[in-house]
Chains A and B, each alone.
Chain A
Amino acid sequence: MATNTNQLTPKNIRRRKRSLESKQKKYGYIFTSPFIVGAIIFILIPLVYSVIYSFHKVELSPEVGKGLICVDGSFGLDNYNEIFNVDPNFRKQILASLGDMAINVPVVVIFSFFMASVLNTKFMGRGFARSVMFLPVIISSGVIISLTQNDLAAQLIGAGDRFASTADSSFEITGAFEMMLMQMDLPVRLIEFLIGAVGRISEITTMGAVSIVIFLAGLQSISPSIYEASYIEGATKWEVFWKISLPMVSPLILLSVVYTVVDSFTSNVNAVIRNIHQTIIGGTYDVGAAMAVSYSLIILAILGIVFAVLSKVVFYQD
């Protein structure tokens, strides 16, 4: 007679299922354990402490081998008062970075979607073009940006050159462009927006590099059979773009918008981030924490709005 455990009675199935579940749980915890530890020690606790520091007066302990200590035990809004009412720069920088974000994000997302569509077609040298499009991540990020800013020699060598992106020569190109737009009687705001976008083309290619990769991945994951079916039904390329490509990558538009917003808010080019970083390095940890907390809340609010608006338009295939 077969033993009871080998028979597939409902009880045994349940037990087996339960054991699989507990096994799954166990391995889930094992695989994610590095991040569980990290999330508690290096994310959650510092997060809570940052909020606490921002409401107190905090200084670095003069003894070596000690951390931050609360100088004054009382709870107060002094640090927030300091950054919003006393500091002349912080509010301006936040408004400026919000403005930059509002201008950059739509341009970057549209540009990188267009670029990815072009890179997704077949042409000679496609591999080369794809590698070049990602190059800005390497050649203009981090410390390189601080080295290339206000580079005197680069301005000199570019001056009088037909192509160079210095103030002199780009003025000629964008000047003609501006004249053309003016004659079309477009609203001045729109003209300024377009001129700004043309002038910042290299900044836009830098910001769009990751988005191009995201969109390229999305476009390549669309099954060719959908395209075939629609061409057989007599759809034109224009219709295929609007009715198939765009809805299929719309979740990625959301992803790309979120990434670009976060990138423009938290990259170390951002003036607010620089200010916070300098404050923390300079040793005023409490004010730095207050800045970081309020700035993070602003970022989360903006992302919440973006998410709420965009998730209504996004189309999910399944």
Chain B
Amino acid sequence: MSELTQIQVDEIKRRAKNVKIKKYVFKYVVSAVRWLFILGMCFVILYPLFSQLSLSFMTSDDMYDATVKYIPKQIIFGNYQTAWMKLGGFQTFSNTFLLTFSTSILQVATATLVGYGLARFRFKGGKILFFLVILALLLPPDLLFTHRYSMFRSLDQINDSPLSMLCFAATCTGLKCSLYIFLMRQFFRGMPKELEEAAYVDGAGPAKTFVSIMLPGAVSMMVTVFLFSFVWQWLDSSYTTVFMREVNLISTKIGSLDSTVGTGITSSVDLNISLIKNAAIMMIIAPLIVLYVFTQRFFVESISRSGLVG
């Protein structure tokens, strides 16, 4: 091998440097494009929220004022007061909270039990049960409403009683319940079997193993299911408008936002209603966003461990 001259060495160094620069430039371009894309997507998602927030503080005068863009001239809470009154005030929100909280707790509990049973035990009819879970996931809920309504009407527990909703939650056949069973089943299937086998060898029965070994490991998934369940039940109108239509709930009172209060030119009345609606949206989703902020740590964790594959 011949000796390299100084010129050749310099040439090689220069080329290496070029490659390095190219690599760097490429890396930064890629990350810049990625940032731009993600910022864009975040904007698409957050913009409506932002505009609703700013609208909820405006008066109709602000809307016609060309100098007002997103920050109103004067921050008023009138829209919130009107929306609060139209929705039925504290009673509506406390009713909705009680209903949502109790059904969510029941749903998490039963979905965890059923999901564990389907994931770990072999028994006759287990496959049929899982098939039913999937079937309930695929069918539109209204298919089952006619007879369910009839059943609870013959028990005289309809329209003003939460019994029907609690029964659905306790048997895990309510709103999107089969999705929660499915998630829990997949999660438990992803957990190592050795844990339970060790517990069995040490003499614990299935019930004790479940409570002391499996449950602590499943907390993140349970919180995730609770989040799903709470959010969807809070915003749901399909079940409540059939089974609890005479109870003051957010979903049953939402129509009253359209009713007009006072008199005025029609267009400004429409505009006022629209502003009140924006305030109502803010009031309805505020608890959900708070809940999401607190639970999203568990949410992200359970995603990475959910073992949805397989």
Contacts and interface: CB of A to CB of B under 8 A. Distances in A.
A67 interface: yes
A30 B44 contact: no
Q: Please indicate which of the listed interface residues B133, B143, B306 has the most CB atoms of chain A within 10 Å of its own CB.
A: B143
A289 B149 CA distance: 12
Given A46-B146, A153-B274, A217 B129 contact: no
A144 B70 CA distance: 21
B121 A49 contact: no
B31 A123 contact: yes
Interface string B199-218: 00000001100100000000
A121 B304 contact: no
Interface size class of B (residues with CB under 8 A): 35 or more
A293 B271 CA distance: 41
Contacts of B232: 141-142
A289 B146 contact: yes
A163 B281 contact: no
Contacts of A143: 235-237, 250-251, 254, 284
A209 to B, nearest CB: 9
Contacts of B118: 32
A82 to B, nearest CB: 15
A147 interface: yes
Q: Please indicate which of the listed interface residues A32, A133, A205, A255 has the most CB atoms of chain B within 10 Å of its own CB.
A: A32
Contacts of B170: 34, 38
Interface size class of A (residues with CB under 8 A): 35 or more
Interface in A161-202: 163-165, 201-202
B16 interface: no
Contact of A133 (B35, B45, B123, B241): B45
Contact of B156 (A34, A64, A273, A317): A64
A77 interface: no
Contacts of B116: 31
Contact of A280 (B145, B254, B274): B145
Q: Please indicate which of the listed interface residues A24, A64, A138, A154 has the most CB atoms of chain B within 10 Å of its own CB.
A: A138
Contacts of A42: 144, 148, 167-168, 171, 173
Contacts of A285: 146, 149-150
A103 interface: no
B253 to A, nearest CB: 10
A139 B48 contact: yes
A152 B270 contact: yes
Given A139-B48, A220-B303, 10 more contacts: A37-B171, A42-B167, A67-B151, A119-B38, A143-B254, A147-B254, A152-B270, A218-B308, A285-B146, A317-B310
